Chains A and B, each alone.
Chain A
């Protein structure tokens, strides 16, 4: 068989490559920066490195202009993200997160779209204490951001616990195995003594090397028929194959990713493609080899084209598969058939195998906070004090109180009742299927509101749905403040990407089960125009849809929008 020679794009390395190169394995001048007393910020170079430690510097953008006039620097603060494979946490860990968010953070917790905790508003001088307390709770923040493998996602699947336990175990194995090996994190935050001898470069990061990856790398494991983790959006996706109630292996999908840049058609969201099947014990090996291919051939010149999806599209899927098999020394099996129903969550109480119960709670925007009329944070704290099972953070920013014993079920139900917590059933199907990234005021990339605004927009769309008898219809709606896609906007049946304050690009036509990307329907429009469009589309859907037809499929059949058949025609 003729082998195609693979190569990396030409061009000088980007500035971030320089920073990594000079950083001595992610140390940089962070130690000094964190102690500098005249600013609560750190330098741009150090902030790049900070990401590898699970955090980055942000500022409260609501206050930015006001503070500039006041001759005060921006209200700098750190975001801190936990590494927590599969979104599984213990009640004691919940209580630690809750305490840290209130003691050092802004008093809220964010459940992310990648199944982990995120805290905002931590001041520079409190970072070390926060990380140490997280460490004491048996969690860490290593590689939660940065050009490395990120938090590994995994279907929480509480109603099939046997398989879930096994799949979760593999996600944890991946998460641990793919960690950077540098001791920088332990030295900087946990006061680990520096080892005197300097090891050979190859020994420090045997897989990543001194420059790590060209860009972030994401892995997720789905268990059909649920595609809640949006397996096609991952750089590397695994699809569990279950036969006779037993896990036999995983289909392997590569080259997905959501991010793009406005006005740059060389960038686009892409869905991963299935290239074969491997046995459970082979998935770590597959992941390592895929990562080294991206390490060697990813674009280190242009960060906007550095994700693995561009590497795959540039080199060709077949060639990447051949290279993978060459590096593995064995061949993938033919992919097994599978089917996905949806990418949402199942709300409310569900009985799992054995005696255990699981309660999926709706958490709007993934934000755990106490509002005047909704004491969510307090309620969850009280539950954590008595809960004996564990938690699963879902990929849709919701929370599963999992493995509740029959004895505890009444007590936890009573607490849910007392604090008025909700499984979302009192809300519309649209709101239950909504997702928003953090965006303003803390995200430096945000061009428009997302988390703070989507609930308000949904209120208004709910009125249209009510008028058309579609209140309970599940339609996925996703909003991000910028095109980087933390809320996987390109897989929402109705998607929005922020362009400017109050202005969004509107996308339609994604599949309900996450297997087809959306396409831009209107550019740079405000709320009035958004509602005007939906006032036409929603009644049409109510009247013209076929039995069981989802909104994303309907708009395509009705000719409202053309189907995006591949990321490369997303902009067409």
Chain B
């Protein structure tokens, strides 16, 4: 029987989830689940409190054989002790995951059942460098509930400092606050740490072994609500979701000519879903400084109430110009409406001449008004001619599987000077200069079915994404890592300078190390005398690249259309011609066939 809203007490989302889950259960699972639900309902009734972590009715939960050891180390002592701990536990038959805190993916934390923390404190109570971000995360408000986690902390320090072993104490206290339970009490070690550390290790091993011995048969695990719901979100382009900014940082190091923002937004509660390759629509705001200049040039009253749309919504003029109207793009159709109102009648000549096209390039409403104004008519008359602020689309740089209820963007801040004024990209500079964590920004998901990972996870992928073109490939890699896709992957990235412009550098390094990313070639055009771009790197590897194509690799290109994508396309044909030993025409057909078979996809702008 199919559950429905009208034949069950569930809402639509729940019905959908249950209908997906129930048919997949085996008989044993069905029986267990009914017993589990009955038992937890009894518990709840008896205690009057919400059910605690799911307990199997028959046996205590099995103590896991898996132990995660996280270390934060400045001088290497904590690292050494963590390694020693891992060795000892492995010798006792435990499966150990050993990681520095900086390498540990925080979204894995909830999956950990037994955690050992070995961390030093340096300076005046500060965490070591490779513990800073994890410390910040765990002590911050984004730390998850950790009910069911068992843990112990070994902290290293120097008692001649006032805040002796503070970092270890922080972790110990915080883990408890998050609901975790100590499996052995924290030990604080002074400079001479060997003995107390050995005692801690002995205690931890004892406690872990005891838990092992005390556990019964393997308890059934509760199946997690499978796969994200496919229900349509209530939010769309016309009804954007107000996404909270979780993080907003510059990916370019000091001294760079560029500024590339990495934006993390929360989709919590939106029901919005996306696939790698999709884009996010973002509604920005105009620069208040520009709006004020416009108000000064027109001598409009900023506080005047204006109607902003056909529905008759009313806003203060200044606010409307910031949030609602497009004031930065001059289009021919807009000028056709504005020129009759312009005091300077040369505007009409401009409209009729072939100077119009170059004129509107890089100029905005303020330029026009300064040159040809003032305009006849009220503020309301003029703003009614303006179009609504359009959304900007950005290739999504994250995978939902890796970052549930989050979406990440990679946005290059656009700033340049033209026609005697400094110009700023509306959305990019809005995010770069004014959008703070905690702020909300209207967004929606724009599907892009033409830029999708191969359905077969074993298919090799070749990704070419210089500059912000890197964004979707971060999403691809996150997805392939989460799904455990086994196909090889090869990324070409380029930008100006290695030291400052290697976007997401440490993430690629980790993926290479972990084998998620098979190869990576980089081209930094301004580090060498002769400028090297991604297509040059492709050509240098032409033999290997062609071999990948012959093995069925899918090719993805993302980024600048006019220069990069054309050069890369030409290079691809060159490689097929050269390595395949075929004519130019045949090489072009080869690439065209790839395109047709969705083995050559582009997301260019």
B-contacting residues of A (Cβ < 8 Å)?
A: 37-40, 63-73, 75, 123, 125, 262-264, 447, 499-501, 503, 523-524
B508–A38 CB distance below 8 A = yes
Chain B residues with Cβ under 8 A from A65's Cβ? 129, 132
B185 interface contact, C-beta 8 A:
no
- In the bound complex, what is the Cα–Cα distance between A71 and B503 (angstroms)? 7
A69–B520 CB distance below 8 A = no
Residue among A70, A262, A263, A524 making CB contact with B253, cutoff 8 Å: A70
B122 interface contact, C-beta 8 A:
yes
Q: Which of B471-521 contact A (CB under 8 A)?
A: 498-500, 502-509, 512, 520-521
Chain A residues with Cβ under 8 A from B254's Cβ? 63, 66
A500–B191 CB distance below 8 A = no
B251 interface contact, C-beta 8 A:
yes
| Nearest CB on B from A373, distance (A) | 24
Chain A residues with Cβ under 8 A from B190's Cβ? 263
A262–B191 CB distance below 8 A = yes
A73–B506 CB distance below 8 A = yes
Known A-B contacts A65-B132, A264-B191; A71 and B506 likewise in contact (beta carbons under 8 Å): yes
Chain B residues with Cβ under 8 A from A447's Cβ? 123
26 sample A-B contacts, Cβ–Cβ < 8 Å, listed by A number: A37-B521, A37-B522, A38-B505, A40-B499, A63-B253, A66-B253, A68-B132, A68-B133, A70-B251, A70-B252, A70-B253, A71-B251, A71-B503, A71-B504, A71-B506, A71-B507, A72-B502, A75-B253, A75-B499, A125-B527, A263-B192, A499-B161, A500-B161, A501-B123, A524-B160, A524-B161
B124 interface contact, C-beta 8 A:
yes
B262 interface contact, C-beta 8 A:
yes
- In the bound complex, what is the Cα–Cα distance between A480 and B122 (angstroms)? 18
Which range holds the interface residue count of chain B? Answer: 35 or more
B129–A64 CB distance below 8 A = yes
Given A70-B250, A70-B253, A499-B160; 12 other pairs, CB 8 A cutoff: A38-B520, A38-B522, A63-B253, A66-B253, A68-B506, A71-B505, A72-B506, A73-B509, A123-B499, A263-B191, A447-B123, A523-B160
A-contacting residues of B (Cβ < 8 Å)?
A: 102, 122-124, 129, 132-133, 158, 160-161, 190-192, 249-254, 262, 498-500, 502-509, 512, 520-522, 527
| Nearest CB on B from A276, distance (A) | 39
Known A-B contacts A68-B132, A71-B504, A72-B253; A503 and B509 likewise in contact (beta carbons under 8 Å): no
A503–B124 CB distance below 8 A = yes
- In the bound complex, what is the Cα–Cα distance between A113 and B271 (angstroms)? 65
| Nearest CB on A from B118, distance (A) | 19
Q: Which residue of B lies closest to A67 (CB)?
A: B253
- In the bound complex, what is the Cα–Cα distance between A264 and B502 (angstroms)? 41
Q: Which residue of B lies closest to A41 (CB)?
A: B509
A-B contact count (CB 8 A): 75
Residue among A38, A39, A69 making CB contact with B249, cutoff 8 Å: A69
B161–A73 CB distance below 8 A = no
Q: Which residue of B lies closest to A39 (CB)?
A: B509
Chain A residues with Cβ under 8 A from B133's Cβ? 68-69
| Nearest CB on B from A45, distance (A) | 14
| Nearest CB on B from A474, distance (A) | 32
- In the bound complex, what is the Cα–Cα distance between A68 and B160 (angstroms)? 29
A72–B505 CB distance below 8 A = yes
| Nearest CB on A from B411, distance (A) | 14
- In the bound complex, what is the Cα–Cα distance between A125 and B504 (angstroms)? 21
Q: Which residue of B lies closest to A502 (CB)?
A: B124
A500–B527 CB distance below 8 A = no
Residue among B129, B251, B508, B520 making CB contact with A68, cutoff 8 Å: B129
Chain A residues with Cβ under 8 A from B505's Cβ? 38, 71-73
Chain A residues with Cβ under 8 A from B503's Cβ? 71
- In the bound complex, what is the Cα–Cα distance between A499 and B124 (angstroms)? 10
Q: Which residue of B lies closest to A503 (CB)?
A: B124
| Nearest CB on B from A68, distance (A) | 6
A40–B251 CB distance below 8 A = no
B251–A72 CB distance below 8 A = yes
Residue among A73, A75, A263 making CB contact with B158, cutoff 8 Å: A263
| Nearest CB on B from A556, distance (A) | 25
Q: Which residue of A lies closest to B522 (CB)?
A: A37
| Nearest CB on B from A535, distance (A) | 24
| Nearest CB on B from A74, distance (A) | 9
A71–B262 CB distance below 8 A = yes
A263–B129 CB distance below 8 A = no
Chain A residues with Cβ under 8 A from B509's Cβ? 38-39, 73
| Nearest CB on B from A513, distance (A) | 32
- In the bound complex, what is the Cα–Cα distance between A123 and B497 (angstroms)? 12
| Nearest CB on A from B197, distance (A) | 15
Max chain B Cβ within 10 angstroms of own Cβ: one of A67, A123, A447: A67
Chain A residues with Cβ under 8 A from B252's Cβ? 70
- In the bound complex, what is the Cα–Cα distance between A67 and B129 (angstroms)? 11
| Nearest CB on B from A65, distance (A) | 6
A500–B249 CB distance below 8 A = no
Chain B residues with Cβ under 8 A from A66's Cβ? 253-254
Residue among B158, B192, B249 making CB contact with A70, cutoff 8 Å: B249
Chain B residues with Cβ under 8 A from A499's Cβ? 160-161
Nearest 8 CB-CB pairs, A to B? A263-B191, A500-B123, A71-B504, A72-B505, A71-B506, A72-B253, A73-B505, A501-B123
Chain B residues with Cβ under 8 A from A501's Cβ? 123-124
- In the bound complex, what is the Cα–Cα distance between A264 and B192 (angstroms)? 8
Known A-B contacts A72-B253, A500-B123; A262 and B522 likewise in contact (beta carbons under 8 Å): no
Q: Which residue of B lies closest to A65 (CB)?
A: B132
- In the bound complex, what is the Cα–Cα distance between A90 and B122 (angstroms)? 44
- In the bound complex, what is the Cα–Cα distance between A63 and B102 (angstroms)? 16
A262–B527 CB distance below 8 A = no
Chain B residues with Cβ under 8 A from A73's Cβ? 502, 505-506, 509
B124–A38 CB distance below 8 A = no
| Nearest CB on B from A152, distance (A) | 31
- In the bound complex, what is the Cα–Cα distance between A123 and B498 (angstroms)? 10
- In the bound complex, what is the Cα–Cα distance between A524 and B163 (angstroms)? 13
| Nearest CB on B from A522, distance (A) | 12
Q: Which residue of B lies closest to A63 (CB)?
A: B254
B102–A68 CB distance below 8 A = yes
Max chain B Cβ within 10 angstroms of own Cβ: one of A40, A70, A503: A70
Q: Which residue of B lies closest to A126 (CB)?
A: B527
Chain B residues with Cβ under 8 A from A39's Cβ? 509
Chain A residues with Cβ under 8 A from B504's Cβ? 71
- In the bound complex, what is the Cα–Cα distance between A264 and B251 (angstroms)? 41
Q: Which residue of B lies closest to A524 (CB)?
A: B160
Q: Which residue of B lies closest to A62 (CB)?
A: B254
Chain A residues with Cβ under 8 A from B262's Cβ? 71
- In the bound complex, what is the Cα–Cα distance between A263 and B190 (angstroms)? 9
- In the bound complex, what is the Cα–Cα distance between A72 and B508 (angstroms)? 10
| Nearest CB on A from B276, distance (A) | 19
Q: Which residue of B lies closest to A77 (CB)?
A: B499
B498–A40 CB distance below 8 A = yes
Q: Which residue of B lies closest to A70 (CB)?
A: B251
B251–A500 CB distance below 8 A = no
Chain B residues with Cβ under 8 A from A70's Cβ? 249-253
- In the bound complex, what is the Cα–Cα distance between A69 and B132 (angstroms)? 10
A262–B158 CB distance below 8 A = yes
Q: Which residue of A lies closest to B159 (CB)?
A: A263
- In the bound complex, what is the Cα–Cα distance between A217 and B215 (angstroms)? 58
| Nearest CB on A from B121, distance (A) | 10
Chain B residues with Cβ under 8 A from A75's Cβ? 253, 499
Chain B residues with Cβ under 8 A from A263's Cβ? 158, 160, 190-192
- In the bound complex, what is the Cα–Cα distance between A447 and B120 (angstroms)? 15
- In the bound complex, what is the Cα–Cα distance between A301 and B561 (angstroms)? 60
Chain B residues with Cβ under 8 A from A63's Cβ? 253-254
- In the bound complex, what is the Cα–Cα distance between A523 and B162 (angstroms)? 12
Chain B residues with Cβ under 8 A from A500's Cβ? 122-124, 161
- In the bound complex, what is the Cα–Cα distance between A263 and B160 (angstroms)? 9
Chain B residues with Cβ under 8 A from A64's Cβ? 129
| Nearest CB on A from B189, distance (A) | 12
| Nearest CB on B from A504, distance (A) | 12
Q: Which residue of A lies closest to B254 (CB)?
A: A63
Q: Which residue of A lies closest to B537 (CB)?
A: A37
Chain A residues with Cβ under 8 A from B102's Cβ? 68
